[in-house]
Amino acid sequence: MDIPHELRDEFPQEISLIERMIRTNYEFRRLAERYDEVNRNIYRIESGEEPTTDEVLARFKKWRLKLKDEIAAILTKLENRM
């Protein structure tokens, strides 16, 4: 199943860095796992598998954006060190 907005789609240039960070950094791994979980929930809601209100969907989307911003900040910081 191809779910839109997966990390590899959101950060195609940083795939190897993301994979390395998931393997070696517990905090980053937890952040990526939370992002994936929220993203899957959004997909289920938008595909009709899991009915909910527009308000709940909007909260999930804001949460996903917050997680994505946190991940982007970490990746940017790491890239600047390289």
Structure tokens at 14: 């940083």
Is 8 buried (19+), middle (13-18) or exposed (0-12) by CB count in 10 A?
Answer: exposed
What are the tens digits of pLDDT across the range 23-62?
A: 999 999 999 999 999 999 999 999 999 999 999 999 999 9
What are the tens digits of pLDDT across the range 60-81?
A: 999 999 999 999 999 999 988 8
Structure tokens at 58: 């909007």
Structure tokens at 34: 């939370």
**Nearest partner of 1 among 34, 33, 35, 39, judged by Cα:** 39
- What number of other Cβ atoms are within 10 A of residue 31's Cβ? 18
Average pLDDT over residues 11-22: 97
